[in-house]
Amino acid sequence: MEKIINNTCKIYIDEGYRNFQKCLCEACNINTIEELNETYDAYFVICDYNTYNHQLHQIMKHLKGKYIYEYIINPGEDSKSLEDYEKIINYCKKVNLSRKSLVIALGGGVVGDLAGFVAATYMRGIDVVQMPTTLLAQVDSSIGGKTGINLGNSKNIIGAFHQPKITYINVDALKTLPEEEYISGMAEVIKYAFIDKNIFEENSEFIDFLLENHEEILDRKTSALLKIVETCAKIKADVVNKDEKEGGLRKILNLGHTFGHGIEKLCHLSHGKAVAIGMNMAFKLSLQKELIDKNYYNQFLDLCNKFHLPTTFIYDNEQEVFNIMKNDKKNSFNKMNLVLPIAKGKVQVFDNIEDEIILQIIKECQNA
């Protein structure tokens, strides 16, 4: 088991659930399950139907508590709604969860965002554990305390920063994922390969690792899964520790996301696929601005090709994509913040890119 612990994050990476309560005890500075049951009067597990079918029974074997409640949501972004949030809060009231209860978010990014927001707001905030089961959630969304729900076309417009007590990652859960969902998560892994030198000054080798070991990663070999999850988690934890509320450095984690959110909503693509396309737009823009060379761009394209990720999309109205980008919650002072590659493993945030150039880049990746 690997541990990544700093002042903000406590992350445990394992190959099962058997050590979960031991890790929770450590995070709570106690020694026994009996003491843990004096700390938390109930466990409230929120998952979706996919996780219910593949993971819930496994965690239940290792969860010993006074009271354990379950709440199951439908898979997909539509569950991150005010309606579903209200239903869960009403259920919390019905079963008398208290400020001494613990929410466990068992699932992917949707479950983590929604369950985290429930924990952040129920009785003005109770503890939550993030237990991610998708690749995207394990390497990214479960770490750092971002929670939220959607409103119309605005993704995560309602939310809060609420750090989990721990993030407990079981890489074996990735072996139960549908192929398409696993591949989608690789977009976030690739993202980390192109930002890691912003965090660690030593030579960036993660890009090379992904290129050289793509078959083992696609085959979901345990050693490969542990390597990619630990590498990404270390980068994310370090970023969050330095900039918890996204005042500066944390913005680099949005590589591909501002471009991608519009595509994700309008084209009904998975988050990972939309981010891959968004990163391609960012790379194209950097190439046009001569911030990077063609060889570096080709390296990005090679990674997307090896992991079967798209770099273009089909949609008829580039202005609609642009309009969603303009309304992205990460923008400020009426300026669009775009994260662009500037060197191997390094990115920078720009807020001075002309609208016409952004529209041109969208067109180049549209219906290509």
Catalytic residues: 124, 146, 188, 236, 246, 250, 254, 257, 261, 271
Counting Cα atoms < 13 Å in the Cβ hemisphere of 287 gives 17
Q: How far is CA 299 from the centre of its chain?
A: 23
User: What's the CA gap between 291 and 350, in Å, rounded?
Assistant: 12
Nearest to 145 by CA among 124, 157, 127, 170: 127
Q: How far is CA 137 from the centre of its chain?
A: 4
- Going by DSSP bridges, is the β-strand pair 2-5/10-14 parallel, antiparallel, or unpaired? antiparallel
Q: Answer whether 322's CB lies under 8 Å from 358's CB.
A: yes
Task: Match 């058997």 to its residue by tokens.
Answer: 18
